[in-house]
Amino acid sequence: MKVMRITDFYEYDLSKIVSEIRNRKAKKVLLQLPNGVKRFSYEIIDEILKKLGSNSITIDIDANPLYGSCIIDEDLVGKYDLVLHLGHEPYPYWKAPSNVVFIDLFSKVKVPNELLERLTNILERRSLRNVMLLTVQQHKNITDYVLSYLRSRGIYIVGKPLVITGCWFANIAKYLDSIDALVVIAGGLFHAIGAGLHVNASRSVFILDPYSNVVKDVTIDIRKILKIRLWKLKKAEESKTWLLIAGFSGQYRPYIIEELKRHLKAKGVRYYIAYSRYVTLDMLRNVDNKLIDAVIISSCPRLAIEDLSGYEKPVLTPGEALYVLGARNDYTYPW
C-alpha cells in the first residue's frame, strides 16, 4: 500500500525554509500547517532536518486548529526562535509576530482546458464579458494560466487576480462597477460565498473548482444565504440585550469592538463582552442564557454565517450588527 506524501499533492520551497532557519540561527522551530494537512508534518520535519544536516535543531508541531493566519497563538509562538507557517497568506488586518515566516503551499492540481472551455462558454452565453478572478493561496500558481486562457477567448479580466480569504476581499469594491461576474478559483463554496456576500450578491459568482473539475454558478446559493441573513437581522432589531464575543491575536479587533460599543450605547440597549480564542456551539451555549437576545461575533465572521447559522438566537457578524443598529445603510459583510 502506497504511503501518501505531501509532495503528491503540494509543493513548497524547502530551500527557503532552510535559509530562514540558517539566517536566523534558529534552534527552536515551530511548524504550523492548515487543518487537513497536519498529517504531513512529520515528513516536512524530516525533510528539513535532512537538508540542514543537523540534529541540533528542534522542530515541534502546532496541533492547534489552524484555519488562517489570523488565529496564531502569540503565547505559543513566543517560545520559539522561528515559526514556519505554511499554506496561508499574511493576514491583512493584523501583523503577525516577527518570528513568523509565511511559506507558500501550492496545490499541484491543474485546471484542464475542458473546464476553462466550459466556463468560457457559460460567460459568453450570458454576455458576462468583464470578469474578476479571485483565488486562494494554494492556487496562486495557476491563476496566470486561467487568466491567459480567458483573455485568449475574448473575456476581459478586470484588474489583477486577487488572493482572498474568508473575510478579506482586497479591493473588489474599487472595481465593482466594471465587473459582470466574479470567478473564484478554489475548492468548494467557502470563498465564493464570502466574495458573494461582500458584494451583496450584486454580481454573478462562479466557482472554478480544480479538485472536482466543476464550474458552477453559485449566485442563487449566495442569494439564499443572504435572505437567511436578512431574516436574522430582522429578528435582531428588537433585541434589548446583546452579547459581543471578541477574539484574540489577529481575531482581536479593538477598533470594531469600540465601534460596536458606541452604537450599542447610542441605541440604548444593554450589552456584555466575552472573550474566547475559539468560538464553538458548545462554547456559545455555555455562556448564553435567557437574558441574551442577540449575539455578535467580532472574531471570525464566518462563524455567524456557517457554524452558528442554525442557532436559535440571531448570531451576527460585525457588519450585520452595525446594519441593525443603524450605522450602515446596506447589508455589509464582513465589517
Q: Is residue 136 one of the residues assigned to a domain?
A: yes
Verify that 118 and 90 share a domain, yes or no: no
Cα 1 to its chain centre, rounded Å, is 35
Which domain-ending residue is among 217, 250, 283?
A: 217
User: What are the backbone dihedrals phi and psi of residue 230, each rounded to the nearest 5 degrees, phi first?
Assistant: -65, -35
Residue 97's alpha-carbon distances to 120, 137, 169, 231, 315, in angstroms, are 43, 20, 23, 40, 31
80 lies in some domain: yes
CA 121/CA 180 separation, integer angstroms: 15
Residues 99 and 34 in one domain: yes
- Are residues 140 and 71 part of one domain? no
Closest CA to 38 of 71, 78, 76, 10: 10
The Cβ-side half-sphere exposure at 14, using a 13 Å CA radius, reads: 14
22 shares its domain with 94: yes
Distances (CA, A) of 276 to 66, 242, 249, 299: 15, 16, 11, 9
227 inside domain: no
- Give the ranges where the chain is alpha helix by DSSP (H): 14-23, 41-52, 74-77, 113-125, 143-152, 172-175, 190-198, 219-236, 254-267, 281-287, 301-302, 318-324
- 50: domain CATH number? 3.40.50.11840
> Hey, what amino acid is at 183?
V
242 with 318, same domain: the answer is yes
* Whether 117 and 212 share a structural domain: yes
Residue 290, in any domain of the structure: yes
User: Quick one: pLDDT at residue 161?
Assistant: 95
- Full domain range(s) for residue 74: 6-107
* Listed residues 57, 90, 107: the one ending a domain: 107
**Total domain count, the chain:** 3
The CATH number for 270's domain is 3.40.50.11860
Is 223 within a domain? no
Cis amide prior to 90 (ω within 30 degrees) = no
Domain end marker among 217, 246, 271: 217
Identify whether 335 is part of a domain: no
- Does one domain contain both 61 and 95? yes
Is 131 in the same domain as 202? yes
C-alpha cell read off for 323: 446594519
Are 210 and 257 found together in one domain?
no
Residues ≥6 apart with Cβ < 8 Å to 231:
none
128 and 213 share one domain: yes
Domain check: are 141 and 94 in the same one? no
What string of pLDDT tens digits covers the 335 residues of the chain? 677 899 999 999 999 999 999 999 999 999 999 999 999 999 999 999 999 997 789 999 999 999 999 999 999 999 999 999 999 999 999 999 999 999 999 999 999 999 999 999 999 999 999 999 999 999 999 999 999 999 999 999 999 999 999 999 988 989 999 999 999 999 999 999 999 999 999 999 999 999 999 999 999 999 999 999 999 999 999 999 999 999 999 999 999 999 999 999 999 999 999 999 999 999 999 999 999 999 999 999 999 999 999 999 999 999 999 999 999 999 999 99
Alpha-carbon span 30 to 133, nearest angstrom = 34
Residue 131 in domain? yes
In b/e form, how buried is each residue of 282-292, taking b as 16+ CB within 10 angstroms? eebeeebeeeb
CATH number of the domain where residue 126 is located: 3.40.50.11850
Grid cell listed for 213: 473539475
The answer to whether the beta carbons of residues 199 and 182 sit under 8 Å apart is: yes
**pLDDT at residue 4, as a whole number:** 84
* pLDDT value for 330: 93
Rounded-to-integer distance, Cα 231 and Cα 291, Å? 21
Looking at the fold, whether 44 and 117 belong to one and the same domain comes out as no
Residue 278 resides in a domain: yes
